Amino acid sequence: MGVSRNNSFIISGSKLLPWKENHYNFQLSRKHHQIIKGTIYTQNQTPCTGATVLVTQIDDEKQERILLGFAVTDEAGCYLFSLEANPKMKYELTVFAPIISK
C-alpha cells in the first residue's frame, strides 16, 4: 500500500486583491494520480466564495504552459482538482479574487 503525503501552504488573504493574478508554483510527487485541494480565505479570515483557481502544467524543456483546468471556490471557500500528474513537469496554481464580493 502506498503512503499518502500531504503538503500545504498558506496564502494571506491580503495577497488576493481584485484584478491581480496570484501565482504559486509547486512540483507533484511521483504518484501519477493527484488530488489538489484547498481553501481560500479573505483578508478577515472568512471563506472566500467565488474565487477562481487555475491549474497549469509547465514544461521547462519545451518552454510550454498548458492550462489543465479551473475551479471556482464554493461557499466554504473550497476548491478541488483531480489530475494525472507527470513527475517531470512543474505545476502552477493561479488564484483570482472574486469579481463581486459581499
30: phi then psi, degrees, rounded to nearest 5: -75, -15
pLDDT of residue 102: 56
Q: Is the pLDDT of residue 9 over 80?
A: no
**Pairing status of strand 33-39 against strand 78-84:** antiparallel
pLDDT of residue 10: 53
Q: Does pTM top 0.75 for this prediction? A: no
Q: Which of 52, 48, 55 is nearest to 34 (CA)?
A: 55
Question: Where do we find the cell 503512503?
Answer: 3
Average pLDDT rounded to a whole number, residues 82-100:
83
Could you tell me the pLDDT band of residue 2, with boundaries at 50, 70 and 90? Answer: very low
Q: How far apart are CA 34 and CA 50, in angstroms?
A: 23
Q: What tens digit of pLDDT does each residue of 24-62 get?
A: 665 555 567 778 888 888 878 888 899 999 988 999 899
